[in-house]
Amino acid sequence: MNPSANREHIISIQSHVLDGFCGNNIASFVLRRRGHAPKIFNTVQYYSKYKHVGVEMKQEEMQTILDALKGDLVATRSGNNGSGVYFLTGYIKTKECVEAVMSHIWDLKNQHNEKRNTQLNGHLDATLEIEEKMNGDAAKWHNGNSCADDSSLEKLLSVDFLWICDPVMGDNGKLYVDKDVILAYKKCIPFVDIMTPNQFELELLCDWKIKNENDVTTCIRFLLNRGVKLIIVTSVQYLSDKDHLYSYVGYLNSQGELVAFKYKIIRFDFNACGSGDLFAALLLSFVIRHRGNVLLIVSKVLNIVHNVIKNSLTSGELNIIENQDIIASDGFCGNFIKAEPVCAAHPTP
C-alpha cells in the first residue's frame, strides 16, 4: 500500500453486483490495485448488471451512513494533517438518495473551504511544488504546446477536496434510473468539480440532442456556465463515423472562455458494460496521485481503458483481473491517444 494512502479519504458511492464487474466491483479493485484505500459505499446490491434483483438502499438508510461518515471526516480532518477528501459517485437509483449524497458532500466542502481559507499560503506553496514537479512530464508530452499551461488541474479546481460525479442514468437511449433522478442530477451541477457523462447522459442533463461536435461543445459550455469545473464526456458516437468513438474535455479558462479538446478512439464491436466505471475510477487515481495537466491525465486513462477493452473482446465482460497490470500502469502503453483542440460552438441549450 502506498504510504500516501493513509492521508487520503476516498469515498466511492456506487452500485454493487454479486456476479460480474460494474460500479464498486470495478472501482474498489482499481483503486486498491493502484495503491489507494477507498471507503466503499454500495447504493444497491443487485445480482448482476443484467439482473437488477436484490436490495436497494433507502434514503433514511443512506442518510444514517452518510451522517456517520461526515462525523468521522470532520473529526479526522480537524487537525492540520494535510489529508484530502475525494468523492466518486456513480449509480444511485432514486432522486432522494442523489439529493442526500449531494447535501452531505456540499456540507463537507463548505467546512473544508472555511478551513482552507485560514491555510491559503501553505496550499499555494504546495500547488507550486506540484506544478513544478509535473512540468517535465507535461512539457515532454505536449512538445511545447502552450495549451498545456492552461490545463493544470490545480488551476481548475481544488485538488485536496473534490467530487467526481459520474451521472449514471443510462446509455444508448435507455434509462437505468428513476426518471426524476435526471432533475436531481441537474440540481447537482453547481456543486460538482468533475462530471463524466456519456453522450446519452449529456443529452439528459442539457435537454439537447447531440448530432455533431458543435452540439457537444454547446452542452459542455452549458454545464460549465452552471458551475461544474471540468467536463469529461466519456464517449460520443456520430452517425458519420461508426468506426470511432470520441471523448471530450472542456473547461473555462481564466477569461471565462470555453477550452475544449477531443480524443479520437477506435471503436470495438463490443458492448463493454462497466467501461465508464473503469474510466471514472482511473481518473480519480490519476487526479489524486499525478495531478498536473488534465489532458495528459485523460490520455493516460483512455489508453488504459482502451487496452483493457481490446484485451476483453473474446469475453462477455471486461477482464478486470486479467488486465490488472495495465490498470496499475502509468498509462503509457500501446498507441498513445492524444488530445486535439476543438472549435467551440455558440448556441445555448
**pLDDT tens-digit map of 220-258:** 999 999 999 999 999 999 999 999 999 999 999 988 999
**pLDDT tops 80 at residue 328:** yes
Higher pLDDT, 48 or 113: 48
Predicted confidence (pLDDT) at residue 117 exceeds the cutoff of 60: yes
Tell me yes or no: is domain 3-341 CATH 3.30.1130.10.
Answer: no
State residue 115's pLDDT score: 72
CA neighbours closer than 13 Å in the CB half-sphere of residue 70: 19
Q: Identify any residues that bridge with 56 across adjacent strands, giving them in sequence order.
A: 44
Q: What ranges in the chain are assigned the alpha helix state H?
A: 24-33, 59-76, 95-117, 120-142, 153-156, 181-188, 199-206, 213-225, 275-289, 294-310, 324-327
Tens-place pLDDT, residues 11-67: 999 999 999 899 999 999 999 999 999 999 999 999 998 888 999 999 999 999 999
Q: Which amino acid is at 348?
A: T
